[in-house]
């Protein structure tokens, strides 16, 4: 099955600086890579996703890059703000038997230092 590794497990950055979180996946058939943000006591919320036919996608301060050859993808947050503090999860998805099965990484706890 799919295996997703995520680094770092914790990350602290000064407000206004950039944050980068990296993930690798094992199954070359994976074709969809969403990123979720989880705040304390809440469920994960999708913040950005990328499909396997695209190398980069940007949405305001958030961008994701995908390298299919190396099987890794990254989340980039620029001009970080205190409200960016949360746990971030990457995931990889394969559509099998009609099921879009997500495999999640172990999460990165991001702390923005004011």
Partner 1 sequence: GAGVSQTPSNKVTEKGKYVELRCDPISGHTALYWYRQSLGQGPEFLIYFQGTGAADDSGLPNDRFFAVRPEGSVSTLKIQRTERGDSAVYLCASSLRGGARETQYFGPGTRLLVL
- DSSP helix, strand, coil percent of the chain (3-state; round to 5): 5, 60, 35
> Where do the H-state alpha helices sit in 1-114?
none
Residues 32, 65, 78, 111: which binds partner 1 (CB under 8 A)? 32
Measured over the CA atoms of residue 89, residue 6, residue 3 and residue 51, the dihedral's sign is positive
Neighbours of 15 (CB within 10 A): 13
Q: Which is nearer to partner 1, 51 or 61 (CB)?
A: 51
Shortest distance, position 79 Cβ to partner 1, whole Å: 25
Shortest distance, position 108 Cβ to partner 1, whole Å: 10
Check residue 80 for interaction with partner 1 (CB under 8 A).
no
Which residues of this protein are in contact with partner 1, per CB under 8 A?
4, 6, 31-32, 34, 36, 41-46, 49, 51, 89, 91, 93, 95-107
């Amino acid at each position: 099955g799919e295996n997703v590794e995520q680094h770092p497990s914790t990350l602290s950055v000064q407000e206004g600086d950039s944050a980068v979180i990296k993930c690798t996946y094992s199954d070359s058939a994976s074709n969809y890579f969403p990123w979720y943000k989880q705040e304390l006591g809440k469920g994960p919320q999708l913040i950005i996703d990328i499909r396997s036919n695209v190398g980069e996608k940007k949405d305001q301060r958030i961008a994701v890059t995908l390298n299919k050859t190396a099987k890794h993808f990254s989340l980039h947050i620029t001009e970080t703000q205190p409200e960016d503090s949360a746990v971030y999860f990457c995931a990889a998805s394969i559509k099998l038997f009609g099921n879009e099965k997500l495999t999640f990484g172990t999460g990165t706890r991001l702390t923005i230092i004011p």
